[in-house]
Amino acid sequence: MSQVIRCCNGQFDISVPVVIIGAGAAGLIAGLAAHDNGAQVLIVERDANPSGSTALSSGLIPACNTRWQALSKVVDNVEIFSQDVRRKNKGQADERLVHRSCLVSGEVLHWLADNYGQNFDLIEGFLYPGHSVHRMHCHPKRTGKALIDSLVTAVDKVGIDVMTSATVTDIFASENSEIRGIRILRPDGSTEDIGCESLILACNGFGGNSGMVSKYIPEMADAMYFGHQGNLGDAVNWGLELGAAVENMAAYQGHGSVAIPHGALITWAIMMEGGIQLNSSGSRFSNEHEGYSEQSIKVLQQPGGIAWNIYDERLHQLALEFDDYKLAFENGAIRYFVSIDELADGIGVSSKIIANSIDDIMAFRTGKKCCPFGRKFQETSTLDGPPYYGVKVTGALFHTQGGLAVDTEARVLRKNNSALPNLFAAGGAAVGVSGKGVEGYLSGNGLLMAVSLGYLAGRAAANVVNEGLNEKTP
């Protein structure tokens, strides 16, 4: 149970000016930014090897005004990007945070590439739901694991210490909530106290804490959690004890396309380029283009809480560009159906129902009928076949998007909007820009806040140290 210990001047085993809790994308980028601004940094991580939800993710980072976009002649800017974010969250997120995160998104990727050897590619060929232009950037290997490994290498190279197998259990703070240090618990039960002048919470949200999910996001209480198990809501709990405000706690990223029983993420690119979802009765039930996040709930509401992703050879080949999909294919999650009869048999319904569902798609495509769910089927990106591919999926909780209220420097805010003296939050520890529920999540909002807020938090935390703003009060 994490807690805040009130103290005046603690006796610490060691002291480091900037301490960061969590070595996911947010923590590692914050570490690089604080180091870049001249501060000595320590990153503390509960796992033996840094991974976090970042390593589980597809590693897609949305950013505008980038050189990778320029190379592909993509016209994008802060206005276009923030409008896409705003359209999706229906204006329910802090407008300043939306603008700031979009504003620095490209700057951070250039800075990481130029100074820290990070490589990025722009994902082209299809648009993620809600994005009006191509702006998803990723490590050339297209996995979150490659992203985190590459960031760990960068942190290592500049000599930033990452203390692993070290779970932060407590925070030491003065009566006015000025942070003094942290306590860590080692696997052998021993503890160490570490003093600091600035503290960055980069330990993500509360997806791994079933009690908190039931409390704040009851609609996902029984859903599979697909994120990192170590994200137990510590940042929120410490923040609340310190008098911080929390915002949009019911917001989250869901996903309507996790293969079962294999537990593999099936890329949503398949849906965006023509695939459809059928329920176990063989009928479509939604506009698959509204977003994969809200699709989690729509799938969970179907009989048995499942759906079938149905697509053709072209989409199968497209999906093979993604490692997660390739692995799912190798592990037997993807079924191959040579005809409508076989497909119907696989789902367990009559061929007539499937034939009707597929005939409908052809009618939507040629304009003879309108999709009752409002999806536009274009000539160029729709379902062909047979043969068909199919995969049984369910809806899952990926990560929480509510969290500590922060300003545009990632400073944690109290309920009266004043900033705590030396506490920062980034990534899933802070409130995101996804509004109040599941439908406000625009693809990439997770890493957007890890990357942008990580960068801002690292710089601001170093400034507190550099400028001596952290005058010790009794």
Residues found near ligand FAD in the complex (CB under 6 A) = 21-27, 44-47, 50-54, 56-60, 167-168, 202-204, 226-228, 230-231, 234, 253, 265, 398-399, 427-428, 444, 446-448, 450
How many CA atoms within 13 Å lie on the side-chain side of 225?
23
- Closer to ligand FAD by CB, 311 or 398: give it: 398
| Minimum gap (Å) between residue 12 Cβ and ligand FAD | 17
- Closer to ligand FAD by CB, 395 or 446: give it: 446
Q: Could you tell me how far CA 63 lies from the centroid of its own chain?
A: 14
- Closer to ligand FAD by CB, 29 or 340: give it: 29
- Closer to ligand FAD by CB, 186 or 415: give it: 186
| Minimum gap (Å) between residue 348 Cβ and ligand FAD | 28
- Closer to ligand FAD by CB, 89 or 231: give it: 231
| Minimum gap (Å) between residue 67 Cβ and ligand FAD | 20
Q: Could you tell me how far CA 69 lies from the centroid of its own chain?
A: 22
| Minimum gap (Å) between residue 265 Cβ and ligand FAD | 5
| Minimum gap (Å) between residue 413 Cβ and ligand FAD | 18
| Minimum gap (Å) between residue 441 Cβ and ligand FAD | 9
- Closer to ligand FAD by CB, 382 or 445: give it: 445
| Minimum gap (Å) between residue 76 Cβ and ligand FAD | 17
| Minimum gap (Å) between residue 451 Cβ and ligand FAD | 8
- Closer to ligand FAD by CB, 46 or 392: give it: 46
- Closer to ligand FAD by CB, 47 or 407: give it: 47
- Closer to ligand FAD by CB, 268 or 311: give it: 268
| Minimum gap (Å) between residue 78 Cβ and ligand FAD | 18
Cβ–Cβ contacts within 10 Å for residue 370, how many?
12
